Structure 1
Amino acid sequence: MKNTYKKIFLAIYFSSALTLSSCEKWLLSPSPGVTKLEDFFTSAETAVQSINAAYMPLAWEYNSTFFSEWFIGDVVSDDALKGGQGITDMAAAYDMENFKTQANNELLLNFYRAQYQGIARCNLVLDQVPKMGTDETLIQKLKDRIAGEAKFLRALYYYRLVRVFGGVPKVDFVIESANQWIQPVATTDAIYGLIIEDLKDAEGKLWKKSEYDDKDLGRATKGAAQAMLLKVYLTRHDYPQAEIWGKKIVDQAENEGEYNLVNNYADNFTLLGENGSESIFEIQYMDDPMSDYGQGFGFTRGTFTVMLTRSRMSTLGGGWGFNKPTQNLYNEYEAGDPRREVTILDQPGATANEIYLGNTYISKKYAMMEDGPGNTILTLSHATRGPINIKTIRYADVLLMYAEACVENNNTTQAKWALEEVRSRARGGNNAILPAFPNYLGYIDTKGDLRKAIRHERRVELAMEGHRWFDLTRWGVAKEVMDAYKASETEEVRAHIANFIGGKHETFPLPEEEVKLGELN
């Protein structure tokens, strides 16, 4: 939906030390016992703590409702149905998957606010850390890296916002007073300009993955910035720049060994596979026995995704059954493709509470993977919290984005190479399945069919990892694909899906509550 609002309120709060009031005189008066920012940012430890805090909103999935990004990336697309205990369970997600979203959607409000919390924390780091003096612990290389991490994270938060909402407020400074709360909605071009500027700056400051100590794995790296630049330039349809940045990370992998595809595809979705050789950037979670019901943003450090997507059957973890793979996705896999069995659990004998609009499939990735020999699924120390990280960028994703950029630039040789790298790993030495392009699915050796093959491969390689909806909108085929998907669904499912309106449903309305707050003086 195109933005029609000129100003919007920003729900950004830094810490309990910076409390804003409607009393302007009180705001301007020094408060006894309050630590000034410059008194806090005095050591390497506080600089590192501050950038650590800037990562945390990426991990948030719950405030007044659940708002994991896959509710958008999977459920809105043709890859998944909402699932859960009937159509009224997570009504906000039901509206989004069926193109009935209103501006009062609670899921989108919480998603929006979490990203701006992250942006605010990044802005604070970028405002304060460069002012700090160097010493034997806060050396210049560390200062630069921290700034690079903040730039990368701010770009990522804004990317998550702009591809969901379109234009949003552009805030690249610390909000210090009430008269800065109301900010205009910037154009999508302005937001992407900031994202690209931040990522280029970050790429020059960040360290390679191999330069980090084990305790720091999970931090943003040079390769992560390059991968994001590849992704952003693809989104902007600047294919020459996308190919350049894609080649940089492919060269890191091929010539320096920074990344490679793990031998076993399924290992990407296990605890043992966290921060491994295929991981370029992943959201870090940990085992946490605490509950955050009624607490809001960031009260625990575990993930809800495991329990949200796990089968509702007690013998399979007793989860909540959201994000159910569609028959359409199941049918997309070629005969014998082992990735389907890693991704989708078929339950032909499912009980009534497992069935959503006739669908019995369950998403296996992360939620239903084996946790070492002898275990069928990951054992949780808390009834609703999982410790497993979520990979937002892995090397297979980069190879397929690079292939996409190359084919659009008529570099079909490199496009075929990158595509075959992914398919070769998937076939696992079984040459009877997944032949090289163009010898499958009726393709012929043309640019058009190579493009189709790359898009097919992205769907099956990255299925149920939150990419599909954003791929469809980037390719400009959301209406075409979603209309075809609707026609392929059962009558029971079709009865719930509204007609897709091109030029409107590719993005979502800005949260009404934020807009109304912005109208207050």
Structure 2
Amino acid sequence: MKKLIYYLFAGLLLWGCEDFLETQPLTDKTSSNFPQTAADAEQMMAGIYTIMNNLQHQVDRSPFFIWEVASDDKLGGGGMNDIQAQSYETFQFSDNEMLLHSWSVLYQGVHRANFAIENMPLLADEVVSPEKKDQFTGEAMFLRAWYYYQLNTVFNEVPLKITTENVNLPAATADEIYGQIALDLKNAIGLLPDVPYTETQQGRITKWAAQALMARIFLYYTGFYQQSAIALPDGGSVSKQDVITWLEDCYANSGHELVDDFHELWPYTNRLTIGDYQYIQDYMTETGKTLKFASDDGARNPESVFVLQFSNFANWDIRRGYSNTYQLFYALRGLQNLENTYPFAGGWGQGNSIPTSLVEQWQEDEPNDVRLWASVMDIEEEVIPLGYQRGAWDFVLESNYWGKKYNGVTARDTDGSLKNDYGVLMHGTSDNNQLSHTDDLVFIRFADVLLMLSELKEDASYMNEVRARAELDPVSYSLENIQKERRYELAFEGLRWNDMRRWGAAFAKQALESQVGVAVYNFGVEDVHDALHPDGYSARYDATMGFFPIPQSQIDLSEGLLEQNAGYSQSGEGLYRGWSN
């Protein structure tokens, strides 16, 4: 398995206590005697990384999950009581503390990053080399930027804490937040090793990831907030040309590249499953190709620029976040017989129901795009013939289309029995549908780098590299073409929502309204979808600008420094009371 995971587990043991810096943990490590050794430095860094796994303790309240359901790519789904998943569709909340987990865990990550940034220079050079200290500091700055990006895109203006000092701060402006994010990423680019990704440790942040994330935050900030550059707190700035230069460096020197075939990005092509998956067998017969999962047996996917990794030692305690729980929540609902959904696993059926409007638009725009059925499962074609039953566990907002990318994937043992995940056989995970998933959650892949370069440079050549892999004809550059290409190449990867927002309120509202009237099944019965808030999608977007409520407990603790976000400030405003359609 992936080496860094073991470092992360060591860090988890150290940092698991909420009040690490204020209490005396069993390890006897406190802020007065930690870090002192090279191992301490590794553990300190591991504690920052583990935050990404800890967010998964409540997947349906995590930023990635929110980004997916809030967009026009997904419906909330689930059962009558899965009100968190459904509430994101129209920017509502189920209770005042609905997003406390994400708020708290992300700020834990910020604090850990601050601690590392402050303490790394204090380590003697003979304990940790200057080069390694630079690398660790760059990683910490990247992760602080990543955590603040998530805080801002979910909660809007939030306190900006860049030291470990325990102070009560008001919300910073978006300009201040993105200025600090951009400064952190600029520093990370300069501090992280300037070597191809193949010469770095798998799972660690690289210079190339920092360059790519800089492009993402630049496009979001300048689009959503209508700015031309990012002003830095040190008096400098990040311009469009700066970002282009960094991305061109990533393109030319990172060593990252597109995998040969789009299907090879996704776990249903793993060596234990591919031989029994009829869709892939038919595709290989038609094309004459032989496919191989890019991450088989822990191989390093050349297209993965920034990912969250998982391991084979997840359990029910603090290590639960070491199984990819998105693959459980996004799995077909009902835990039906695995033969009825093969090769896809069963699970909670939340946040992975795809509006028919997306499929219809995709077929109209790109009728020969192999990425459609590589990304989308046609329920009637693929699993109804196997015995899959609609409406399991009071399933609502069930579309005829389901996302493949992050649905868990099963495999047969030598005796013919099906395991809950192919990782049981390949990686030795527990044969438990809630703990067995080890596939990376990909935050940035190289195809996104190419598409961002196209958009920033207004140059179709990079976009056409992505299209060529999908065996599509080249197109000229236009914003409309890049918008379509990003949607189809990067569907269901957590990007569509903030793309919609940065392209303007009119674009976002038109996209959201496309979900009204799509065909769904509620409790297994055909129905038509409508917005889950009586005011509708557009009115709720206008009221909230796509942000979600700050946990009330954090507003109370701020002693008047924080205010509730627009659209949630009045009593009961935006409250989702549960399924009633």
Distance 1:13 1:45, change over 3 A: closer
Is the 1:61–1:304 contact (alpha carbons within 8 Å) kept by the matching residues of 2? no
Distance 1:372 1:469, change over 3 A: farther
Q: Deviations over 1:103-139 (max 9, x none)?
A: 7151x2222222111111101101111111111x511
Distance 1:41 1:200, change over 3 A: same
Matched, 1:460 2:511: no
Is the 2:195–2:254 contact (alpha carbons within 8 Å) kept by the matching residues of 1? no
Matched, 1:222 2:207: yes
Pick the aligned partner of 2:370 from 335, 338, 345: 338
1:320 maps to amino acid:
W
Alpha-carbon distance in structure 2 between the residues aligned to 1:170 and 1:188: 10
Is the 2:35–2:119 contact (alpha carbons within 8 Å) kept by the matching residues of 1? yes
Give runs of aligned pairs for residues 471-482 of structure 1, distance below 5 A.
471-476=499-504, 477-482=507-512
Give runs of aligned pairs for residues 245-394 of structure 1, distance below 5 A.
245-254=243-252, 256=253, 258-270=255-267, 272-274=293-295, 275-292=300-317, 299-312=320-333, 313-315=336-338, 316=341, 317-322=345-350, 323-333=352-362, 334-348=366-380, 349=384, 350-353=388-391, 356-369=396-409, 378-380=422-424, 381=430, 382-385=432-435, 386-394=437-445
Alpha-carbon distance in structure 1 between the residues aligned to 2:115 and 2:54: 19
SS of the aligned residue for 2:448 comes to helix
Pick the aligned partner of 1:514 from 544, 554, 572: 554
Give the alignment's Cα RMSD to 1 decimal.
3.1
Distance 1:208 1:168, change over 3 A: same
Alpha-carbon distance in structure 1 between the residues aligned to 2:56 and 2:408: 21
Distance 1:309 1:161, change over 3 A: same
1:235 maps to amino acid:
Y
Q: Deviations over 1:270-292 (max 9, x none)?
A: 37534421111101111234124
2:49 maps to amino acid:
Y
Q: CA deviation at 1:45?
A: 1.3
Q: Give the aligned partner of residue 7 of structure 1.
A: none
Alpha-carbon distance in structure 2 between the residues aligned to 1:308 and 1:44: 38
Q: Give the aligned partner of residue 188 of structure 2.
A: 202
2:358 maps to amino acid:
L
Structure 1 length as normaliser, TM-score? 0.81
Distance 1:418 1:373, change over 3 A: farther
Is the 1:400–1:458 contact (alpha carbons within 8 Å) kept by the matching residues of 2? yes
Q: CA deviation at 1:368?
A: 4.4
Give runs of aligned pairs for residues 159-174 of structure 1, distance below 5 A.
159-174=149-164
Q: Deviations over 1:294-318 (max 9, x none)?
A: x6xx544112011111123332322
SS of the aligned residue for 1:236 comes to helix
Q: Give the aligned partner of residue 122 of structure 1.
A: 113
Matched, 1:37 2:27: no
Matched, 1:148 2:148: no
Q: CA deviation at 1:64?
A: 5.9
Alpha-carbon distance in structure 2 between the residues aligned to 1:251 and 1:304: 34
SS of the aligned residue for 1:393 comes to strand
Structure 2 length as normaliser, TM-score? 0.73
SS of the aligned residue for 1:351 comes to coil
2:171 maps to amino acid:
V
Q: Give the aligned partner of residue 444 of structure 1.
A: none
SS of the aligned residue for 1:220 comes to coil
Is the 1:278–1:396 contact (alpha carbons within 8 Å) kept by the matching residues of 2? yes
Q: Deviations over 1:254-274 (max 9, x none)?
A: 3x3611111121222337534
Q: CA deviation at 1:327?
A: 0.9
Give runs of aligned pairs for residues 22-101 of structure 1, distance below 5 A.
35-63=29-57, 66-84=60-78, 86-89=79-82, 91-101=83-93
Matched, 1:188 2:177: no
Q: CA deviation at 1:328?
A: 1.6
Is the 1:92–1:105 contact (alpha carbons within 8 Å) kept by the matching residues of 2? no
> 1 or 2 for the larger relative contact order (CA 8 Å, sep ≥6)?
1
SS of the aligned residue for 1:345 comes to strand
1:425 maps to amino acid:
R
| Identity fraction in percent | 29
Is the 1:14–1:121 contact (alpha carbons within 8 Å) kept by the matching residues of 2? no
Q: CA deviation at 1:248?
A: 2.8
Alpha-carbon distance in structure 2 between the residues aligned to 1:39 and 1:276: 39
Q: Give the aligned partner of residue 24 of structure 1.
A: none
